[in-house]
């Protein structure tokens, strides 16, 4: 007969404690059940919503009080993350499970979105294009008047320590975040603040072919350079979140943001390319973030003899595209199936997009095995 946990006397009823009183008495949940419950709460109530219904418990074989605290105050991982035990964060000189990591409520990154970051992926425990990402991070910080007080070797070693905690055989997403630090008094001015670093490595599910995406032209506009320099990879993602949520509400996967003048720029978190009559087009760097994968894609296309035209193109230009694709450090090269309900006509198997995707996969495997950082 299976052992049953003894009653938890003196503890309040809750989803994870169990029901200790009345005719609906039931045993506490297991750790796995507790995790699933919190994950549902996050999905229903928002990315950073706390699952406060569980104060934690200490029962043999179940979720511990400490585990429940992690779950109750942590944030839901991105869609590629499949278990909290596979996400680790370096903060304040310590490596802790990501769900247990926290910052103070006076941090200006939390209060104002005053932070810069880089997101990159790893293959075979190698951080891809790390030097390029760190160079861009320094540029973003410099444009905000922040100083990156680290050397590349230190960051490389730190990332290696985090990756050592990721299960063998799994790739990961690494995010490097730098905030301005704590607000001093009640001032908006940043004088006297000390920067804070946070580095997280999170396991990804095994690589699989990503289905083509459906895009719509977003009703939200890209902030012009005189409002926010696109070269700053800022932690303030509100406009991107609004554009993505609007697209999902319209039955699409993501939205294409136009400039205030109606120029095609990018999606919520990826650079946009489209193909017409064998030529590839993309927005010039003056209006978009200069993506690391964007640059890699341009080099691969040009080395194959395909012309890439950068410029300022109105929305009408993409209406006659035969192909389109997105580039980002985490997802790589992803094909687009439709734009505003219009199916793109190119045969994916023989398309420029598919050829480029294959070349890019070979490029990142070569980079990882050759130790290119």
DSSP, collapsed to helix, strand or coil, labels residue 295 as helix
Using the 3D structure, point to which of 76, 94, 109 is the last residue of a domain: 76
Question: Nearest Cα to 155, choosing from 143, 146, 163?
Answer: 163
- pLDDT value for 349: 66
Q: What is the pTM of this model?
A: 0.76
> What is the C-alpha to C-alpha distance for residues 319 and 323, in angstroms, rounded to an integer?
10
Residue 346 has a pLDDT of 65
pLDDT at res. 50: 33
Asked if residue 185 is part of any domain, the answer here is yes
Structural domain includes residue 133: yes
List all residues 6 or more positions away from 134 whose beta carbon is below 8 Å from its beta carbon. 118, 148, 152, 155, 176
Q: Do 243 and 314 reside in the same domain of the chain?
A: yes
| C-alpha span between 30 and 340 (Å, rounded) | 45
Which residues, given as ranges, of the chain have pLDDT below 50?
1-24, 31, 35, 38-85, 371-373
Name the pairing type of β-strands 213-221 and 254-258.
parallel
For residue 291, the enclosing domain spans 213-369
Query: Among 20, 49, 76, which residue terminates a domain?
Result: 76
Which whole-number Å values give the CA distances from 197 to 44, 93, 118, 299, in the listed order? Answer: 30, 9, 12, 32
pLDDT (0 to 100) of residue 69: 43
Comparing C-alpha atoms, which of 305, 326, 106 is closest to residue 194? 106
- Per DSSP, the residues of 7-70 read P-TTPPPBTTTBB-SSTT-BPPPBHHHHHHHHHHHHHHH-TT---TT------TTB--HHHHHH
Q: What is the pLDDT of residue 147?
A: 85
State whether 225 and 341 are in the same domain.
yes
Residue 2 in any domain: the answer is no
What is the structure's pLDDT at 183? 74
Does residue 188 share a domain with residue 227? no
pLDDT of residue 28: 54
Return the axis-axis angle of helices 31-45 and 65-73, rounded to nearest 10°.
10
The domain boundary residue, chosen from 57, 76, 95:
76
Q: What is the pLDDT of residue 368?
A: 77
Angle, in degrees to the nearest 10, between helices 130-143 and 292-303: 130
Assess whether 233 and 99 both reside in one domain. Answer: no
pLDDT tens-digit series, residues 99-137: 999 999 989 999 889 999 999 999 989 999 999 999 999
Task: Transcribe 166-204 into DSSP letters.
Answer: SPTT--EEEEEEEE--B--TT-SS-TT---EEEEEEEE-
């Amino acid at each position: 007969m299976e052992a049953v946990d003894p009653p938890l006397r003196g503890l309040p009823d809750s989803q994870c404690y169990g029901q200790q009183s009345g005719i609906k008495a039931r045993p506490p949940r297991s750790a796995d059940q507790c995790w699933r419950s919190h994950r549902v709460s996050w999905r229903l109530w928002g990315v950073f919503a706390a699952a406060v219904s569980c104060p934690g418990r200490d029962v043999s074989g179940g979720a511990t009080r400490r585990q429940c605290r992690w779950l109750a105050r942590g944030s839901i991982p991105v869609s590629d993350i499949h278990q909290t035990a596979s996400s680790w964060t370096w903060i304040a000189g310590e490596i802790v499970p990501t769900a247990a990591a926290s910052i103070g409520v006076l941090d200006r990154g939390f209060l104002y979105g005053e932070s810069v970051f880089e997101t990159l992926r790893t293959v075979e425990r190698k951080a891809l294009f790390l030097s390029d990402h760190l160079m861009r991070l320094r540029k973003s910080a410099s444009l905000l008047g922040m100083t990156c007080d680290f050397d590349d070797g230190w960051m490389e070693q730190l990332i290696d320590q985090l990756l050592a905690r990721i299960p063998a055989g799994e790739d990961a997403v690494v995010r490097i975040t730098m905030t301005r630090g704590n607000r001093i008094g009640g001032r908006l001015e940043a004088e006297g603040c000390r920067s804070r670093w946070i580095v997280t490595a999170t396991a990804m599910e095994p690589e699989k072919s990503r289905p083509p995406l459906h895009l719509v032209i977003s009703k939200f506009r890209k902030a012009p350079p005189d409002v926010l320099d696109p070269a700053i990879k800022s932690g303030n993602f509100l406009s991107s979140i609004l554009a993505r949520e609007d697209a999902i509400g319209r039955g699409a996967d993501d939205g294409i943001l136009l400039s205030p003048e109606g120029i095609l720029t990018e999606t919520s978190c990826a650079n946009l390319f489209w193909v017409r009559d064998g030529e590839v087009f993309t927005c010039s760097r003056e209006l978009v973030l200069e993506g690391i994968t964007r640059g890699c894609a341009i080099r691969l296309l040009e080395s194959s003899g395909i012309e890439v035209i950068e410029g300022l193109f109105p929305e009408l230009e993409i209406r006659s595209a035969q192909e389109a694709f997105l580039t980002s450090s985490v997802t790589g090269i992803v094909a687009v199936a439709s734009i505003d309900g219009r199916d793109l006509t190119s045969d994916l198997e023989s398309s420029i997009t598919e050829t480029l995707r294959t070349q890019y996969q070979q490029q990142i495997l070569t980079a990882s095995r050759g130790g290119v950082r």
